[in-house]
Amino acid sequence: DAGVIQSPRHEVTEMGQEVTLRCKPISGHNSLFWYRQTMMRGLELLIYFNNNVPIDDSGMPEDRFSAKMPNASFSTLKIQPSEPRDSAVYFCASSGTGVTEAFFGQGTRLTVV
Amino acid sequence: GIQVEQSPPDLILQEGANSTLRCNFSDSVNNLQWFHQNPWGQLINLFYIPSGTKQNGRLSATTVATERYSLLYISSSQTTDSGVYFCAVDMRFGAGTRLTVKP
């Protein structure tokens, strides 16, 4: 298996633009997590899906952020409109039934200018 | 929500030294994992250890769930062990321990 695949690896966008980050979990995994990592706040759990259903979105910072998982092999995290304070590395992780070992993608480094 | 505290925040070692990293958590745990973030930013799963003891080469981990802590042991450290070590409890991360191993 190729592991968790995130795209793009780097994204530079202007303030106010819409940004879409993508994640393909490991085949057979049914839990998916989105994180944001910054120096100030560390690794923050944004949202957790189980069997494609959002279970806990309490970490989503505000309404500008939204996440979807239309099927077991794809998820998106969207920011609209983007702001400079959204600049961070965004990680996606997946794990099997019952949230056992989790595996992370390589992250998307987002810069909003 | 659950609180995860890691100590020490920073650790500097000479190559060959041993170290112990600690993770305290505030509530009962279903899932506890240790991760290493290397200098390139990649997060690698080291252990899934909600209870008990596991060993993998020079690394081992112990979780005492009843006392709400977990320990990660690194023996005979190498420069490639440098990076940040995170404890995640129910997928909530602590602030990490930044380890620097000097040659």
How does pLDDT run across A45-74, given as a tens digit for each residue?
A: 999 999 999 999 999 988 999 999 999 999
- CB of B90 within 8 Å of a chain A CB? The answer is yes
- Return the residue of A nearest to B40 by Cα: A106
* Cα of A27 vs its chain's centroid, Å: 17
CA distance A45 to A62: 13
- CB of B41 within 8 Å of a chain A CB? The answer is yes
**B28, B49 in Cβ contact below 8 A?**
no
**A23, A5 in Cβ contact below 8 A?**
yes
Residue A62 is predicted with a pLDDT of 87
**What's chain A's Rg over C-alpha atoms?**
13
Contacts of A22 (CB under 8 A, 6+ apart): A6, A7, A8, A74, A75, A76
Residue B30 is predicted with a pLDDT of 86
Q: What is the dihedral of CA A76, A111, B42, A96, to 10 degrees?
A: -10
Supply the mean pLDDT for chain B. 96
3-state secondary structure of B67: helix
Q: What is the mean pLDDT of residues B17-22?
A: 98
**How far is B44 from chain A, CA to nearest CA, in Å?**
7
